[in-house]
Structures are given as structure tokens and as C-alpha cells.
Chain A
């Protein structure tokens, strides 16, 4: 019988990172991904990129992925948060986070999806105890001692436990009877990359507009990633425009400080919703990434939260395995759930509150938040706490997020 320590269902960034971490830690791992490897390794730029926190970058370093990524990674040196209305310019009270206020260096790095995907796959090829298979999980069942998965290529591998890394609609979680708490914001995130005339100086901008936030995140060279949130009907209207019309809609929203702009790569849109699994673990099953929680992408915390799951689960499983424990036991997997649940709930609430406060055109709310922002700006310790949270440096950090080996 084909037997592993762990079967990971879903080969996105989180699933692949986990396979790499577990394989390095000596666990026999099967990564079942319905997307063929050549598609995952496509070198083309599709417009997607991630604002990786300091902690996430340390995880990538600990997994020896940073060297291939560093040449194209853009450090975020400064974050400017501005409250504004289109056409009115920024509010006089502005929040500025400067990396000089924390000791760890840049606030984070912008890394493009195309480089991250390929670095992960290349690293995975070097790990003999990870098997990658292009297949979709059809079903799975667990017994007191084993988890069995049926894949659509007809194979039926078994393992001590399985990991659902199969996204927000996680069929793995559904099969396990794990319900989700879901909340739609009625907003859609429009995502694209732009090339621009003037340099960005490593500054990330977040403009809080009545309809939702607009983020401009620096990429290598004179390029930036745009995450632009609009109420869903308006987003649908803008999404239907051609590229020229799309740029015409975008330009007045952040003014001319980057000079002329042009699209670089494809345009994406994502309906914004909060979706949190009722449990992150079940008998012989753990959920990571969007399968466990999809947060409002306001602060770019989606992948960072997923990599925290990866680091925490890899550590729980590696430690349990070295103790000789059965890694699929409920009490082992509960350690992972306990570690990640509180953190996720806190982050979900914080981002949600932040967004509700800012996505509002009520004059009173605007006054409150203008004063609020000014107050935060005037209090260095509170500001430093905000910066450290955004940089992923708070909480009980797993070893990988401290840049240490498992």
C-alpha cells in the first residue's frame, strides 16, 4: 500500500511551502495538486504579487528560498496611509510608518507570484521524500489510525494525516463536515500591476476611499502592484472596461505622483469576503491557508497568515514525529488549531473593524478616524505596535517564522 506520513491536498503557495517544510523535516509527504507542474511553473507575469511580512521572509530564508527570490524582491521602506476622497487629495492628517522605527529592517518585501511559484517548485525537486502528483482528491476517509485518500488518477494513498490546502471552498473541509463562517463585504478587489514613469522609492501607499481602500505597493523597477477595492456593482462596471478605460478610472484615484501609468500583466478581480472554518483540525485532518481562513485582503495579510499556518503546522508535526507521537492524533492536531485560531480571530476582527471604520462616507466617522489617525501618529509606542503587527513580529512565533530551522 502506498503510505506517507502526510498527504497535502492542494498545491498552491501554502500547500507547496508546507510540503517543502515537512520534507526538509524528514516526513514522507505526498503533494496532490490538480494543476499540472508546467502550469504552476509558468514564467509569465500574471500581475499577481504579495506583500510579504518580515516574518514570512524569515520563513522563506529558513527554507533556503530567499536566495533565488532576493534579486527581484522589492523592500517596502515606508508605508503611507492616507484618508481621502477621489479628486479631493489627501486629508491633512496622514499616518506614516517608517521602517526606521523598527530594528528589523524593511517593513516587508513585495514578491511576485511567478518567482515564488517557481522557487518553491525548484526547491521541492531537491527533496527526495516529497512526491508531487498531478491529481485531484475525489474523496477521503479517516479511521482511528489512518487517513485514506482517493485521487482522480485512481491511486489510493494512505497517511497518518491529511492537510486541506485546497482554498476557500475547500472540498476537503466540506467532506470532513467542517462548517464555515462567511461574510461578504459587498466589495470587490481589483488587482493589477502598473508600470509608471517616476520611481516609487520603496514606499507603499494605502488610500482609504469611501468605497474601500486603494493600495499601491512597490515592485522592482518603476512598477507597482495595485489593489483597488470598490463596491461590487462599481467594480463590475470598471472590470468590464477595456485597458484604456480601466486606466482612466484608476488615474484620478491616486493622482499623478508616479507620473504616466500603463498596465503590466493581467487584471484580476476578487470578491472580498471573510470565510473562516469553524475548526482548523478534525480527526487526522488539518486545514491551512484559505481553506482555514480567508481574510479581508486589506493589509495584504492573506499569504502571510497562510505561511503562519505552514510554520505552525510544520513545527507541531515535526516535533510530534521526533517524540514518536502518532502525528494524526486529535491531541497533536489540536495543538496546531489552538496556536492558529486565536491569532486568526484577532486578525480577522482587526482588519474587519479597520475596514468598516474607513469604508464610510459619514462625516462624523470621517472626523473620528481623521482624529484617530492623528492620535496614532502622535504616539510612538502605539505606532510601533501597529508596525510590528503589520510586519508579522507579534505573537508566539513558530521557529520557521523566526528564521530558525525546524
Chain B
């Protein structure tokens, strides 16, 4: 199996794979960010595929891949909105955790211990690829994004979020989140692997996708919550791109 997933990175996340679903546990920062990520993802999908989010099962008929699904924090909401979901994770230990939880929630999700490259090689096709907080952990981002493009049906949508590379992101994501707040285990991120929005747009275009949107996820320490920003992409940000029909 040819994979661009860095083995050391996978091992780091395997160490964090318990307690996925405790909103006040280890993954509290992800739970805090999740409404913001879901707002972005659901609105992009609704716009691209002309769905009404106020209706019943708005994503019925859409096949969605969640790469780096972890405990299923994005997979479950997508399934609840009616989509057919495949959750893929390179960390084997996450799969049974996610499966058990989906079962408890009464949701059917196809969780697999695999990689984007392996799924692409098997010829799998999706309407939507969720590629959230993954690209900063892979060894070869261009090869990885190319695999994501291959996984999309023509006219399909990919959302990709990551962390910017500048002095502020170093302070916030590494010193702040890993050392000061202890939100994430030390060594979760390597700052040199962070990608600027322009670099990411360039990589996405070179992978054969059309970048269509980018927004910031901004943490407000006063309200202790995240919001979506049109302008501030200085630390966490997200992009949407489509595969030409």
C-alpha cells in the first residue's frame, strides 16, 4: 500500500484516539470548533448541490467521504443529514471507536481503516470529500490532494481546512494550544508543515481542482468560541474547491 501518510504522525494520533466524544475531554478543542466546521461544510454542500438545510434529510443521495474521520465528529452529522458516508482513518484504533459510537447513535456509517490513496486506487467515487485538518499531517501534500481529486465525481466538492504558517499561527496553534492550554499533546503539529492559503490554493489547482472559496476560523477568547471570518485567515482556515464537470 503506497501511502503519503507519515507513520510518525499516525502514531501521534493513535495516542489520542480515546475519549473522542467527550465534549469536555481530550478533544474539547475539536468539539468547540466543530459547529463552525459543520456550518461551513453544510452551507458549501447545500450551495453546490442545491439542497435546503431546513428540510428533512437534505443530503439524501449524496455520497460523502470523511478523510481522517477520527471518532466520527463530522461523519455522524453528515449521516444524520441523510448522506451515505464513508469515514476513513489511517489510525486503525479510531475505526472501532467510531463504529461503536455510530451504532449507539442509530446511524449507519461505513468506517474503514484506509487512506485517500488506497481508496482512489480502488476506484471509489464521491460527491463530497471532507478533508479537514489532515493536509498539515501528510508527507506529500500534492500527491495527497491529487488522490482527493481522483476520489471526486465530476462536479464534486472538496472542503479542506488547515493551519496557516506565520508567527501568529506558531504562537496560537503550537505554543498556545499544545504548551499553554494543553489542548493538544505536545508535538501534535509541526509548524514547518503548515501551509499558507495561497500555497494551498496553488496546490489544489495543481492537483486539478478549482478553488472556489476560502474563509477563516477565528477563536474569540472572550466568548470562548469559534466563528467564521471572511477576512481573518491568519491561523485556522478552510477552503472549498470543485472538480470540473
Could you list which residues of chain A lie within 8 angstroms of chain B, going by C-beta atoms?
25-26, 144-145, 319-320, 322-326, 329-331, 334
Contact = CB atoms under 8 A, between A and B. Distances in A.
Interface in B108-163: none
B56 interface: yes
B98 interface: no
24 contacts: A26-B55, A145-B104, A145-B106, A319-B35, A322-B42, A322-B54, A323-B77, A324-B76, A324-B77, A324-B78, A324-B80, A324-B81, A325-B34, A325-B35, A325-B38, A325-B77, A326-B76, A326-B80, A326-B105, A330-B23, A331-B23, A331-B31, A331-B32, A334-B23
Interface of B: 23, 31-32, 34-35, 38-39, 42, 53-56, 76-81, 104-106
B39 A323 contact: yes
Given A323-B42, A324-B78, 17 more contacts: A145-B106, A319-B35, A320-B35, A322-B54, A323-B35, A323-B38, A323-B39, A324-B38, A324-B42, A325-B80, A326-B76, A326-B80, A326-B105, A329-B23, A330-B23, A331-B23, A331-B32
Contacts of B81: 324
Contacts of A323: 35, 38-39, 42, 77
Nearest to B83: A324
Nearest to B79: A324
Contacts of A334: 23
Identify the 4 closest CB pairs spanning chains A and B, nearest first: A324-B77, A331-B23, A323-B38, A324-B80
B55 A145 contact: no
Contacts of B31: 331
Contacts of A324: 38, 42, 76-81
B105 A145 contact: yes
A145 B42 CA distance: 23
Of A25, A26, A334, the most chain B CB neighbours within 10 A belong to A26
Contacts of B35: 319-320, 323, 325
Contacts of B55: 26
Contacts of B77: 323-325
A266 to B, nearest CB: 42
A26 B54 CA distance: 7
A52 B77 CA distance: 38
Nearest to B105: A145
B33 to A, nearest CB: 11
Contacts of B39: 323
Contacts of A322: 42, 53-54
A399 to B, nearest CB: 13
A144 B105 CA distance: 9
A325 B38 CA distance: 9
A324 B57 CA distance: 9
Of B54, B56, B81, the most chain A CB neighbours within 10 A belong to B54
Contacts of A325: 34-35, 38, 77, 80
A331 B35 CA distance: 10
B56 A26 contact: yes
Nearest to A24: B54
B76 A25 contact: no
B98 to A, nearest CB: 14
Contacts of B53: 322
A324 B78 CA distance: 6
Nearest to B103: A145
Nearest to B54: A26
Nearest to B31: A331
Contacts of B104: 144-145
Nearest to A405: B54
A329 B31 CA distance: 11
Contacts of B42: 322-324
A242 to B, nearest CB: 56
A92 to B, nearest CB: 45
Of A25, A322, A329, the most chain B CB neighbours within 10 A belong to A322
A326 B32 CA distance: 14
Nearest to B80: A324
Contacts of A26: 54-56
A144 B102 CA distance: 12
B38 A25 contact: no
A331 B79 CA distance: 19
Nearest to A323: B38
A70 B79 CA distance: 44
B47 to A, nearest CB: 14
A320 B35 CA distance: 8
